[in-house]
Amino acid sequence: MTLLTSLAILPLLAQGALQTGPDLGKAEGRCRANEQGPAFIVSVVGLKDRTGNLKLEVYPANEEDYLQDDNILLNAGKTFRRVEVPVPAGATPELCIRVPGPGRYSVVLLHDRDMNHRFNWQRDGVGFASNPSLGMSQPKWHQTVATAGSGRTRISITMNYLRGLRGMQPLN
């Protein structure tokens, strides 16, 4: 096959193979009742308010895949999980997200206050496993890693919101 022919069919191949949509990773991430397999139980600390949705995502724990596009990860057969729920009105929210097996994963939590499925650093909140300091920059991948055991692993993530010139910080 010539190079020109190969290039001509790439868009057709990509069109049929590339997944897309806001529901990617949700079926794989959703915890099921009485399921005992590996998962994170995430306690959400320091919410600004009880509006919008919480979106919890799990990525491979490496620099190349950290915060990579979900389409790219899934089409490459790599780990990507997502759970999205309305912010509960009551006590400390807890989210459960399944992982493929015991091991290290990068864990990210977004507070999408206006439910537009886009992160707005001026309005929305963000938190990471290991609760690194953010300031005016996103943390490095190795600062956002949690280790899942063979069952349910509990972690706590503190939310960060824009705090003027200090950047993204917890409210308290």
CB contact at 8 A, 127 and 159: yes
Q: Name beta bridge partners: 29.
A: none
According to DSSP, residue 32 is labeled: -
Closest CA to 68 of 106, 102, 116, 38: 106
Q: Which two tokens stand for residue 30?
A: 């959703």
Distance CA 81, CA 85 (A): 14
Predicted pLDDT at 84: 95
Predicted pLDDT at 20: 57
Pairing relationship of beta strands 94-98 and 39-45 according to DSSP bridges: antiparallel
pLDDT single digits (tens) 97-138 = 999 999 999 999 999 999 998 899 899 999 999 999 998 889
Phi/psi of residue 166, each to 5°?
-80, -10
Per the model's pLDDT, the better-predicted residue between 164 and 101 turns out to be 101
Residue 13 has pLDDT above 50, yes or no: no
Sequence-distant (≥ 6) Cβ neighbours of residue 5 within 8 angstroms: none
Predicted pLDDT at 15: 41
Distance CA 162, CA 136 (A): 9
Domains of the chain: 24-169 (2.60.40)
C-alpha 27, offset from chain centre: 14
54 membership: H or E segment, kind and range: strand 53-60
pLDDT single digits (tens) 38-81 = 999 999 999 999 999 999 999 999 999 999 999 999 999 999 99
Helix (H, G, I), strand (E, B) or coil at 29: helix
Least confident of 7-11, 97-101, 168-172: 7-11
Predicted pLDDT at 142: 97
Q: Which two tokens stand for residue 90?
A: 């009551």
Biggest alpha carbon–alpha carbon distance for the chain = 62
Predicted pLDDT at 36: 87
Q: What is the mean pLDDT of the chain?
A: 87
